Amino acid sequence: MQDSSPSIPMLGDNFPELNVQTTHGPLNLPADMKGSWFVLFSHPADFTPVCTTEFFAFQKRYNDFEKLGCKLIGLSVDQVFSHIKWTQWIKENLDIEIQFPIVAANDTVASALGMLHPKKGANTVRAVFVVDPESKVRLVLYYPQEVGRNVDEILRAVEALQVSDKQGAMSAGWPNNELIGDQVIIPPATDEKTAQERLQQGSCYDWWFCYKPLEK
């Protein structure tokens, strides 16, 4: 029996090569984003209320993503002219201009990213891919059509990934964790000698749970 499950890029995989048309012209992914973080997020359809609230939220935080060196890219299976008309409607009625490109994806593109789920019809689900400057997939989220995304969480996740790459592991809710605030978790020791030394070197609940101040 043939597996009909959608293909989903896994964490650490190279983002699949896609040549797409967008509201800003042709885009080759991930090549055109090489050297930059980017967030690609799909939405079920243009001119729908939940998607409109999401695009408004992403655009309101556009500068915050830019400060992190992270580009935004929207996507659905609607055609480019529909995307253009929708962004015009958003500007005219909600007084905000969408500054990031929106991909007009065909079924091949949507399937390559696991965005077409069984029993959800022809629309794409609400997928989020965070990709690093080396074109590696670092975070994947899938939301149903009925639930809008928390854009602040996506922004937080990008920043947490960037800090983690340089300093250590990030706590739940970082930078506002209930136990250690914005401090960075030190990777647990893997031998007895280091475990004993760790308790003398910094703040610890135990040898396997030590943390250090965030480097600004």
Contact, 38 vs 69, CB < 8 A? no
The CATH superfamily label for domain 18-149 reads Glutaredoxin (3.40.30.10)
Lowest mean pLDDT among 60-69, 106-115, 125-134, 149-158: 106-115
Per-residue pLDDT reduced to its tens digit, 28-86: 999 999 999 999 999 989 999 999 999 999 999 999 999 999 999 999 888 999 999 99
Per-residue pLDDT reduced to its tens digit, 10-34: 999 999 999 999 999 999 999 999 9
Q: Which residue has the higher pLDDT, 100 or 116?
A: 100
Checking if the pLDDT of 186 tops 60, the result is yes
The model's pTM: 0.90
The C-alpha atoms of residue 106 and residue 99 are separated, in whole angstroms, by 22
User: What pLDDT shows up at residue 124?
Assistant: 67
Q: Which residues pair with 140 in a beta bridge?
A: 129
Q: Which residue has the higher pLDDT, 87 or 196?
A: 87
Q: Is 110 in a helix, a strand, or coil?
A: helix
Q: Which helix (H) or strand (E) holds 11?
A: none
Query: Which residue from 129, 135, 183 is spatially nearest to 158, judged by alpha carbons?
Result: 129
Q: Which helix (H) or strand (E) holds 51?
A: helix 49-60
Q: Name all contacts of 172-177 with Cβ < 8 Å and 24+ positions apart.
A: 175/214
Pairing label, strands 37-42, 70-76: parallel
The C-alpha atoms of residue 113 and residue 181 are separated, in whole angstroms, by 35
Active site residues: 51
Domain boundaries, the chain: 18-149, 168-212
Q: Average pLDDT of the chain?
A: 90
* Residue labelled with tokens 């959800």: 120
Q: Examine domains 18-149 and 168-212 and report if their fold is the same.
A: no
Contact, 40 vs 120, CB < 8 A? no
Query: Which residue from 18, 41, 38, 16 is spatially nearest to 162, judged by alpha carbons?
Result: 38
Query: Which residue from 133, 152, 162, 137 is spatially nearest to 68, judged by alpha carbons?
Result: 162
Fold of 168-212: Antioxidant, Horf6; Chain A, domain 2 (3.30.1020)
